[in-house]
Structure 1
Amino acid sequence: MASATQFINCRQCLSGALICSPLTIDSNGRIIPNTPLPENTQTIDLKNAIVSPGFLELQINGALGFHFAHYGEPATYQAGVQKLAQYLPKTGVTGFYPTVPTVSSLVFKQVLPFLKPEDIAYSASVLGAHVEGPFLAPSKKGAHDAANMHIPASSSLENIYGEENLKDSIRVLTLAPELPGALEHIEKLTKEYDVKVSMGHSAADYQQGKEGMKAGANLITHTFNAMNPLHHREPGLPGLLSDPSPPYFSLIADAIHLHPRVVGIAYRSSPSHCILITDSIELSGLPDGIYPGHAQIPFNQLKEGNKVTIENTNTLIGTCIGLDECVRNLMAWAEIPVQEAVRCVTENVGLALGLKDRGRLEVGRRGDFVVLDDEGVVKETWILGKKIAAGV
C-alpha cells in the first residue's frame, strides 16, 4: 500500500489565484509537504487540470426526494442523510450543512440529533445543522410556516432546540436581528454555544443589521431574498455588504432567486466575503415532472429544470440547482475565472464558519479536492485522498 499519493501537473486554486504545484496526501488523507516524500509514494498525473478545495455547501434543504425537515422514523431519516452525503460529491461538495427550516420544537428535537458533524465513508461530510428559524420575521417568512415562528424574548434557545442539540448539532442559525430579544440570543449562541449566527428572513434596517453584527452575527442568509431591498434612503441588510468590515453573505446564483446582474454586483462588493449556496429543495437530483406536496407545501409540485412551482401557478417553491452550477453561473455573471469563483464555495465558507481543516489546500488539512476544467465543470471529486465520484 502506498504511504502517500502525490498529484502532479495540476493548477491549485489558492485565494483566487492558480498555483502550479504538486499536491501530496498521506495514507490518512491529510495534506503533507511535497518534499521529502515518504517511501512508496505513488504519483498521479492530473494533466494540467485545475484543483480546487472540496466545495462546502452552507445551505441545503434536501435532494433525491429527501427533506431534512421531514421526519418519519430514525432508520429512514438516517438513510436519507446518508443518501444525500453519497450524492453530493458528484457536484463537487465534500462537506455540507443540512438545513432545517421553521418547524415545531418537537421536530427540531427529533431531527437535530441525526445532523451532528459526522464523516460518512465515501461521502461528503455532515458539518452540522443549519437551522433557519423559528426566530424569523413573519412579514419575511417566504415558504416558512408562520404558525411555528417564535419571538426570541419569549422563547429560550434550549426550549426550542434542546441544550444538547445546541452543543452537539447546530453550527449555523439564521434569525431576524430586529425581533425583541434577538440580540441576546445572538450573544448567547456565539459566546456560549459557538454557533455562527446569520441574519435573514428579516425586515431589519441597516442600523439593526449593524447591531446584529455587534452582538456577534457574522453572516447574511440568501442576501436580497426574504429581506427589505436595498433602498437609496434605507439600505437594509444588503447595505452591510460594502461596509469596511462586512459580514459574509450568501447568494443563490440560479437566475430564479436573483437576477444575474444583482449577483455580479453583490460579488463585486466583497469577493472575500461572498458565499454561494443552493438552498435546494428535496426535488433536486430528480427528473422533471409533477411531484406530490407535503406538510409544508400541500399542493402538487412542478419541477422544470432548476425551478419548482406549485402546479398550475407561478408560485415559486424553490430551486434544484447544484453548487457546481452556481460556480459556473458566477463565473459568467461576474466575468471571473474559475479560481476566483471557487473561493465562494471553499475558502470563504471555511473562514466564515471557522473551519480549520477545510476550505484551503494546505499542509495539515484534509485532502478533499475537486478536479475541474477551465469552465468549472467537475471532473472528479476526491475525499481524504480517495477518488469518490466523477462529475454529474
Structure 2
Amino acid sequence: MSLILQGAVLRGRRIATGAVTVTDGRVADDGPPGAVRVLPEGWIVAAGFVDLQVNGYGGAQVGEDPDEIARVAEGLPRAGVTAFCPTLISRSDAGYGRAARALRDAPVSPAAARMLAPHLEGPFLTPTRAGAHDPTMLRRAVPEDVDRMLDVFRPAVLTLAPELPGGLDAVRRARRRCVVAVGHTEADAAQGREAIAAGARLLTHAMNAMRGIESRAPSALVAFLADNRAHVSLIGDGVHVAPEVAAVIARATGRRLVLVSDAVAAAGAPPGRYRLGRLPVDSDGERVLAGAVLAGSASAIDRGPATLVAAGIDVASALAAATEAPRRLLGLPAGLATDGPADLVVLDADLVPRLTLVGGVVAHADHDLPFDVPPTGRPV
C-alpha cells in the first residue's frame, strides 16, 4: 500500500498543487493503490527540515551522554526536522573524547531525526568573540590539532576563525573533508574573502559572534553576503537577529541562505535552567542567557520560516532555506526526490509542523490531524 499526500507541495523553491506518494519508505512516482490524504487549504507538504546546528532539544543536549543525544534526535521531528548535525561547542580534549564516544554509541530509533555527521563549532575560535564558549577551551589552529579533530569526528561542518594563526591553513586542510564555516570571528572583509578563496563555504549564524555591517569598515559578513560561492546561515528565532534584519539578509543571499536553529536543551522545553556543555543557562521560553550573553536558542528551526514570512519573505523561499539549501550545501540528495527516502513534513497554514515522516515512518503526528495516519513509530 501507499500513502498519497495531495495538495500544495514544495519542491526546491516552488510551491505547486500536486501529490507526494510514499511507498515502502520512499518517494515514488506512483505505486500500488493507496490511501489519499487531501491537505486542508493552506497546508504544505515539503521535504523535512535539515538543521546544521543543534546543541540540544527537549531538555537534552548534544554532549557526552549517548542517551541524551538520542533524546534530542527523538524530539526534533516535533519541529519538522528529519536530519540534523549534532553540534559540539568548544571543550577540553578529554571532553571531546567523551563526546566522540557518545555520538558513536547513541541509540538509533526509526522514529527519530537522522543524525548526520557533527558540526564542530570550535575550538578554533577568536576569544573576543567567544559568546557562550568557554574562552579557556579555545585554541589556535595548530595543524596537528586540526587533523586530529577531522580524523576523530569526520565532521559535516567545522566552524573556525580564519584570522587566527594557522586559520587559513586550517581552511585548506579541512575543505576537502567537510564544509568549512567561518564564525566566532573578528575577521574583516579582506580576511573573509581570503577564507572563501581558501575554501570556506559557510558563514555561521550571521550577525552573531562577529562584526556587523559598517559603512567604512566592512567585515567578513559583508564578504560572505557578496560572494555567490558561499552560503550564509541565520538563526531565525527572531531573537538573535531582528526579523527586519533577517529579511534583508534573506534578500541579499537568496538561495544561499541556510536557516539553522542553534537550539539548546531549552528548546522544546519549559522555561527554566539548563546546561550548554558545562555552562548553566537560563531560558524564559524566548531567549537563553548565560548571564547577559545569548547562549543558543530556545526555538527549533521551525520558527525560522515563519519569522521570515512575517518579515515579508515569500513562503517558498523561507521554507527552502530550511530544506533545499542545507541539503545542497552538505551534498545530500534533493528532498522529495523520486526513489529518495520519504523524509517529509506537513505544515499547516501557519507553517507549524503537523506530521513528520522519516524514511516513511511516522516520527511525529499531531493528535488533531484532520486525517488519519499510523501511530508514531509505524511506517505509513
TM-score, with normalisation over the residues of structure 1? 0.86
Give the Cα–Cα distance (whole angstroms) in 1 for the partners of residues 266 and 313 of structure 2.
Answer: 30
1:292–1:223 distance in 2 versus 1, CA, 3 Å: closer
Q: Partner of 1:78 in structure 2?
A: 66
Query: Are the counterparts in 2 of residues 135 and 150 from structure 1 also a CA contact under 8 Å?
Result: yes
Give the Cα–Cα distance (whole angstroms) in 2 for the partners of residues 293 and 366 of structure 1.
Answer: 34
1:104–1:366 distance in 2 versus 1, CA, 3 Å: same
2:318 is equivalent to residue 341 of structure 1: yes
- Secondary structure, aligned partner of 2:156: strand
Q: 2:109 aligns with which of 104, 107, 120?
A: 120
Q: 1:144 aligns with which of 127, 133, 153?
A: 133
Letter in 2 for 1:364: D
1:387–1:377 distance in 2 versus 1, CA, 3 Å: same
Q: Partner of 1:46 in structure 2?
A: 39
2:368 is equivalent to residue 383 of structure 1: no
Give the Cα–Cα distance (whole angstroms) in 1 for the partners of residues 150 and 295 of structure 2.
Answer: 29
1:18–1:306 distance in 2 versus 1, CA, 3 Å: same
Unaligned segments of structure 2, at least 5 residues: 368-380
1:19–1:158 distance in 2 versus 1, CA, 3 Å: same
Give the Cα–Cα distance (whole angstroms) in 1 for the partners of residues 13 and 274 of structure 2.
Answer: 43
Letter in 1 for 2:88: V
Q: Partner of 2:371 in structure 1?
A: none
Query: Are the counterparts in 1 of residues 150 and 174 from structure 2 also a CA contact under 8 Å?
Result: no
Q: 1:327 aligns with which of 305, 325, 338?
A: 305
Query: Are the counterparts in 1 of residues 87 and 121 from structure 2 also a CA contact under 8 Å?
Result: yes
Letter in 2 for 1:56: V
Query: How many angstroms does 1:352 deviate by?
Result: 0.9
1:230–1:293 distance in 2 versus 1, CA, 3 Å: same
1:195–1:292 distance in 2 versus 1, CA, 3 Å: closer
- Residues 280-333 of structure 1, C-alpha deviation per residue, up to 9 Å, x if partnerless? 2222222123x26676435xx4321221235xx644333211211122111111
1:381–1:292 distance in 2 versus 1, CA, 3 Å: closer
Provide the identity percentage: 29
- Secondary structure, aligned partner of 1:44: strand
2:29 is equivalent to residue 33 of structure 1: yes
Query: How many angstroms does 1:42 deviate by?
Result: 4.1
TM alignment of 1:175-190, pairs within 5 A: 175-190=160-175
Letter in 1 for 2:156: R
Query: How many angstroms does 1:346 deviate by?
Result: 0.5
2:3 is equivalent to residue 5 of structure 1: yes
Give the Cα–Cα distance (whole angstroms) in 2 for the partners of residues 229 and 253 of structure 1.
Answer: 17
2:81 is equivalent to residue 93 of structure 1: yes
Give the Cα–Cα distance (whole angstroms) in 2 for the partners of residues 55 and 112 of structure 1.
Answer: 25
Query: Are the counterparts in 2 of residues 95 and 125 from structure 1 also a CA contact under 8 Å?
Result: yes
Query: How many angstroms does 1:5 deviate by?
Result: 3.0
Q: 1:60 aligns with which of 31, 36, 54?
A: 54
Matched pairs, number: 365
Unaligned segments of structure 1, at least 5 residues: 72-76
Query: How many angstroms does 1:245 deviate by?
Result: 1.5
Query: How many angstroms does 1:385 deviate by?
Result: 2.1
Query: Are the counterparts in 1 of residues 266 and 274 from structure 2 also a CA contact under 8 Å?
Result: no
Query: How many angstroms does 1:341 deviate by?
Result: 1.0
Give the Cα–Cα distance (whole angstroms) in 1 for the partners of residues 366 and 230 of structure 2.
Answer: 32
Give the Cα–Cα distance (whole angstroms) in 2 for the partners of residues 16 and 118 of structure 1.
Answer: 34
Q: 2:328 aligns with which of 351, 357, 360?
A: 351
- Residues 202-225 of structure 1, C-alpha deviation per residue, up to 9 Å, x if partnerless? 111111111111111100000111
- Residues 187-211 of structure 1, C-alpha deviation per residue, up to 9 Å, x if partnerless? 22122xx211110001111111111
Q: Partner of 2:372 in structure 1?
A: none
1:347–1:119 distance in 2 versus 1, CA, 3 Å: farther
RMSD: 2.3
Q: Partner of 2:243 in structure 1?
A: 260
- Residues 22-79 of structure 1, C-alpha deviation per residue, up to 9 Å, x if partnerless? 212221x121223xx3x4544333345311100011101112332223x2xxxxx221
Q: 1:297 aligns with which of 279, 301, 304?
A: 279
- Residues 244-263 of structure 1, C-alpha deviation per residue, up to 9 Å, x if partnerless? 52411111122321122110
Detail structure 1 runs of 4+ shifted over 6 Å in the superposition.
Answer: none
TM-score, with normalisation over the residues of structure 2? 0.89
Query: Are the counterparts in 1 of residues 162 and 187 from structure 2 also a CA contact under 8 Å?
Result: yes
TM alignment of 1:149-164, pairs within 5 A: 149-153=138-142, 155-159=144-148, 161=149, 163-164=151-152
1:95–1:391 distance in 2 versus 1, CA, 3 Å: farther
